[in-house]
Amino acid sequence: MAKRIEVKDLDIYYDKFLAVQGVSMTIQPRSVTALIGPSGCGKSTFLRTLNRMHELVPNARVDGKIFMDDDDLYGPGVDPVNVRRQIGMVFQRPNPFPTMSIYDNVAAGLKLNNKRMRRSEMDDVVERALRSANLWEEVKDRLGKPGSGLSGGQQQRLCIARAIAVQPDVLLMDEPCSALDPISTQAIEDLMLELKEKYTIVIVTHNMQQAARVSDMTGFFNLQGVGKPGELVEIDETTKIFSTPSKKATEDYISGRFG
Amino acid sequence: MPTPTTSQRPESDLYTPLSGVPLTAGQLPRGAAPLTLLVVALAALGLWQFADWSAAACAVLGALVYTLLIYVWSRAVEGSRKATDRFVTAVVTCAFLLALLPLISVVFTVLSHGLARFDTEFFSYSMRGVVGEGGGAYHAIMGTLIITALATLISVPVGMLSAIYLVEYGRGRLAKAITFFVDVMTGIPSIVAGLFAYALFALIFGPGVRMGIMGAVALSVLMIPVVVRSTEEMLKLVPNELREASYALAVPKWRTITKVVLPTALAGIATGVTLAIARVIGETAPLLITVGITSSDNFNPFDGRMATLSVFSYYEYVNPGVPPQFSLDRAWAAALTLIIIVMVLNLIARLISRLFAPKTRG
């Protein structure tokens, strides 16, 4: 459980357009790493390369290396499906499967992968995932109801439960709270603090207070200019980034003096 | 000395309020438009019935008079903006009513002629040995159902798989070519489909061959593009987020398609397939060439001629016996049956789309 990720000189392309350039960082296990930066600077794109979702876009590709512990994620013969089995993802907009009940949504990762499981085992997995996502008390009496009938915040926690039900090593979150109200956001932030005991968590956020609240490490992405590739300006401990960043651009962005 | 007011400013800028425009305006009395329409429609009906004008002329004249009347009246009372609104509304209403007229006329004609033989004998007897009175279309109804079912069996897998290829896998030239030819196929005349099926089977079994399966092949040529198109549109409607959610759970692509994409789009696909069936079930020309007609029961689509409702109706009409009335009645009853089958299929399509739609509330 909870693996370290090492990124070395990663260039990310959409067809011929270089979207993100030269990213190198180490993501520590059992911690929350936040990625901040202005819109369009490639945070989400970078996040999606970590579980090889990036290549689902036609003609998208990457150069460079990403290691998870000792495995090269982009090595020859690596099956993206197996990568995603170990690195789960939560998206910006809650996206429960509309044809499935709450129960089936949580069990989807197991059922769709055709894992044979006894009903009681499955029940256990679903309950554990929902409890970890702080959703169990709210939905335990209506597990058979459709997942899309829940509120936005509940749907997002359902998606988190769905992602952790398959017990990944790493959990990627792409602006998981941007569509949610402050109370649901609070619930999900608390959840992240609990989950980091067991998982490596990487979160993209536009909310700097959120990054400051939940993360141990913070990476700042920036764009040199319009049409130029995004890049990682610096990554350091969150307390350091938010008090004494070593780069001027970081300080400008964090203090709100950014263009 | 008079106090300066805004109206005395030389040039009006953006901050000049639109003062002086009253908040109230003239209005036509409630129900003015429908009442005018009713009066004009009655007048047109009167002209048709009593002045012996042609029905089409009355309808068009009525539409024009109504549009003009409501526009002028509204312009006089309500002003030009409201009048334009009334005008467009009137044009839309008239266009709808004009489009509805032939439909009502068809239903009325088929009902009035078809009900004469719409009896149990019609649904339980074939035409074997029938000259003149009596006889029925049992063999034709069964033939239509069998051949259409076979056509569905051929076209649904082919059409659905093509659509899945186009939406989920297709890239580049091949996909574009398939889309193009599907569009072309949507427009081919049904007689061409019939000739194609005939030529195909004539190559194998020799000329003059007639089989139910040939009709099914001809119909599926017509049906496949419709199924591909509707399935494609429905698959495109499935949000990409769901596919990504599934991939992020490490679900392989084919399983994502079968377990997430297809179930989400199922209601629309089923509706599209049902409408495609309704589209081909009344085809006459291709069945005339490939299946022919027979007067007795033949429910084996791989052996010889079969009867179908549309061809049955056609033959009863062009080859009536003496006296012709019995044949004509059977033809109309067959047409009525066909219309009812199509109507039931449409109702089923609606039911399916309601039953299979993803539920948001439990």
Residue A1 identity (one-letter amino acid): M
Q: Which residue of B167, B249, B257 is the best one to mutate when testing the A interface, meaning the one whose CB has the most A CBs within 10 A?
A: B249
Which residue intervals of chain B are DSSP H helices?
32-50, 55-78, 80-114, 120-124, 138-164, 172-186, 190-205, 212-237, 240-248, 253-256, 262-280, 285-290, 309-318, 325-356
**A167-202 pLDDT per residue, tens:** 888 999 999 888 788 888 888 898 889 888 888 999
Determine the distance from the C-alpha atom of residue B46 to the mean position of all C-alpha atoms in its chain, rounded to a whole number.
Answer: 32
Q: B16-71, pLDDT tens digit by residue? A: 566 667 777 788 888 888 899 999 999 998 988 888 888 888 888 999 999 999 99
- A57/B contact by beta carbon, under 8 A: no
Q: What is the mean pLDDT of chain B?
A: 88
Assess whether B112 and B127 both reside in one domain.
no
Cα–Cα distance for residue pair B296/B127, rounded to 1 Å? 6
User: Do B188 and B275 lie in a common domain?
Assistant: yes
Mean pLDDT of the region B86-108: 92
Amino acid found at B290? T
Tell me the domain boundaries of chain A: 5-254
Beta strands A200-204; A32-36: pairing state: parallel
Task: Output the domain CATH number for residue B331.
Answer: 1.10.3720.10
Q: How confident is the model at residue B362 (pLDDT cuts 50, 70, 90)?
A: very low
Contact between B252 and A98 using a beta-carbon 8 Å cutoff: no
Residues B324 and B212 in one domain: yes
pTM of the model: 0.82
> What region, left, alpha or beta, does residue B252 occupy, with left being phi > 0 and alpha being psi -120 to 50 degrees?
beta
Of B91, B116, B141, the residue at which a domain comes to its end is B116
Q: How far apart are CA B302 and CA B104, in angstroms?
A: 39
**CATH superfamily, with its number, for domain A5-254:** P-loop containing nucleotide triphosphate hydrolases (3.40.50.300)
Q: Does B184 touch chain A (CB under 8 A)?
A: no
Q: Per the domain annotation, does B105 fall within a domain?
A: yes
Same domain, yes or no: B218 and B148: yes
Looking at the fold, whether B291 and B315 belong to one and the same domain comes out as yes
What's the pLDDT band for A223 if we cut at 50, 70, 90? Answer: confident
Domain final position from B81, B116, B151 = B116
Pick among A55, A83, A111, A112 to test the B interface (most B CBs inside 10 A): A112
Q: What does the DSSP assignment read for B241-256?
A: HHHHHHHHTT--HHHH
Between residues 72 and 131 of chain A, which touch chain B (CB distance below 8 Å)? Answer: 81-85, 88-89, 91, 93, 95-99, 101, 108-109, 111-114
Question: Is the same domain home to B301 and B347?
Answer: yes
Q: Is the predicted pLDDT of residue B197 greater than 70, yes or no?
A: yes
Range of the domain at B42: 32-116
- Residue B21 placed within a domain: no
Please check whether residues B44 and B76 belong to one and the same domain: yes
Name every chain B residue with its beta carbon within 8 A of the beta carbon of A98. 242, 264, 358-360
Same domain, B96 and B135: no
Instruction: Answer yes or no: do B303 and B192 share one domain.
Output: yes
CA distance between the termini of chain A = 41
Q: What is the CA radius of gyration of chain A?
A: 18
Respond yes or no on whether the N-terminal peptide bond of residue B323 is cis (omega within 30° of 0). yes
Same domain as B269, residue B133: yes
Please name which of B71, B215, B246 lies closest in space to residue B144, comparing C-alpha atoms.
Answer: B215
Instruction: Classify residue B134 by burial, with Cβ atoms within 10 Å: 0-12, 13-18, 19+.
Output: middle
pLDDT confidence of residue B11: 55
Q: Tens digit of pLDDT for each residue in A7-46?
A: 999 999 998 889 999 999 999 999 999 999 888 888 999 9
Q: How many domains does chain B have?
A: 2
Put the strands of the sheet holding A17-27 in their side by side order.
A71-72, A60-68, A5-14, A17-27, A230-237, A217-223, A32-36, A200-204, A170-174, A87-90
- Which 3-state string (H, E, C) describes chain A? CCCCEEEEEEEEEECCEEEEEEEEEEECCCCEEEEECCCCCCHHHHHHHHCCCHHHCCCEEEEEEEEECCEECCCCCCCHHHHHHHEEEECCCCCCCCCCEHHHHHHHHHHCCCCCCCHHHHHHHHHHHHHHCCCHHHHCCCCCCEHHHCCHHHHHHHHHHHHHHCCCCEEEEECCCCCCCHHHHHHHHHHHHHHCCCCEEEEECCCHHHHHHHCCEEEEEEECCCCCCEEEEEEEEHHHHHHCCCCHHHHHHHCCCCC
Band of residue A259 on the pLDDT scale cut at 50, 70, 90: very low
CA distances from B274 to A31, A153, B319 (A): 54, 39, 33
* Tokens 């266009």 sit on residue: B95
Asked if A113's CB is within 8 angstroms of B255's CB, the reply is yes
Please check whether residues B290 and B331 belong to one and the same domain: yes
Look at residues B223, B218, B210 and name the one whose alpha carbon lies nearest to residue B302.
Answer: B210
Query: Does residue B13 lie within any of the structural domains?
Result: no
Confidence of residue B360 (pLDDT cuts 50, 70, 90): low
Neighbours of B306 (CB within 10 A): 30
The answer to whether residue B282 is domain-embedded is yes
Clarify whether residues B270 and B168 are in a common domain. yes
Separation of alpha carbons B313 and A116, rounded Å = 56
Phi, psi (deg, nearest 5) at residue A6: -120, 125
Chain B residues closer than 8 Å to A159 by CB: 245
